[in-house]
Amino acid sequence: MSRKSSPVKEGWGHQVAMKKCHLCDTMATLRESHIIPDWYYRDEIRDFKHGGQFIDMSREPASKHGRAIVYPLLCDACEQRFGNWDNAAKRFVTAGEDAYGPWMLRFATSISWRVLKYFSLTRDPASLHGVSHGETQETLDCWRDFLLHEKLSRRLSRHTQHLMRVGDDYRLRRIIGLSFEDDGSTHFVYARFGAFGIAGIVRSTYKGWKTSKSRLYGSSGKLPAANYGPTDFLRCLVALEKEYERRLRAHSAQDRTHSAR
Ligand SMILES: [Zn+2]
């Protein structure tokens, strides 16, 4: 069954015609790139012994399924570049470690880039909360430059990456969510999957997050026990997490109603 009319194809392994790679601009047969790394689907979700499906908060209404969120974004070389960081993230999660290497900033930046790119290609501009096309492109360019050349720049400190551990229990690890949020002073993309919450700043007038414990610098680091500091930005994330949990409970309640019938 062809799904060519849909801009978003579910599953992986499909290929599309020659186009410009969204990261390096090379003409290539673009891969159906995972917005959230594929190990997450394979290891956390597709294992039906552990519950199978996840609650997908990336769309309205939220749904329950086991499909990956993919989009034709990258050439083979760029896919490999991201794959190395995705694998490092997988080892980090699998080993249950707190300490990470310089790869973490690259991984987080790649996630934020993928999410913002995906939003800019698939969503109504109104869902970007008043952030202009120019600002979106400037942020994407900044992250893209770092992903391609791996050099820290002053510009990067305007669009920082933040990492949070968002719940180890299996029930919560079944939530996936991509969002563009605005806490009044900060506009950011947020990806929630597995034990990770990754936020990338698109625009902010609030300085507090620059010194937040959640901020990633391009060096080795350690996941703090509690990432949530007393800033509007982090309060916004806490509210978002609570909303995810609320919707997870609503889905569970729906399941109980269905199974009781
Ligand atoms: Zn490329």
Distance 144 CA to ligand 1 centre (A): 11
3-class secondary-structure state, position 16:
strand
> How high is the pLDDT of residue 7?
43
Between the alpha carbon of residue 22 and those of residues 26, 190, 222, the distances in Å are 8, 20, 32
> How high is the pLDDT of residue 70?
93
Given a contact cutoff of 8 angstroms between Cβ atoms, the answer to whether 3 and 54 are in contact is no
The amino acid at 154: R
Q: Determine the average pLDDT of the residues in 157-172.
A: 82
pLDDT in tens, 16-61: 579 999 999 999 999 999 999 988 887 776 655 555 677 888 777 7
Distance 12 CA to ligand 1 centre (A): 18
> How high is the pLDDT of residue 51?
55
CA 69 from centroid of its chain's CA atoms = 10
What is the rounded average pLDDT for all residues in the chain?
Answer: 83
Q: Which residues pair with 74 in a beta bridge?
A: 31
- Residue 155 per-residue DSSP state: G
Distance 134 CA to ligand 1 centre (A): 22
Q: Determine the average pLDDT of the residues in 128-137.
A: 92
Given a contact cutoff of 8 angstroms between Cβ atoms, the answer to whether 35 and 10 are in contact is no
Output the pTM of the full model. 0.87
> How high is the pLDDT of residue 43?
76
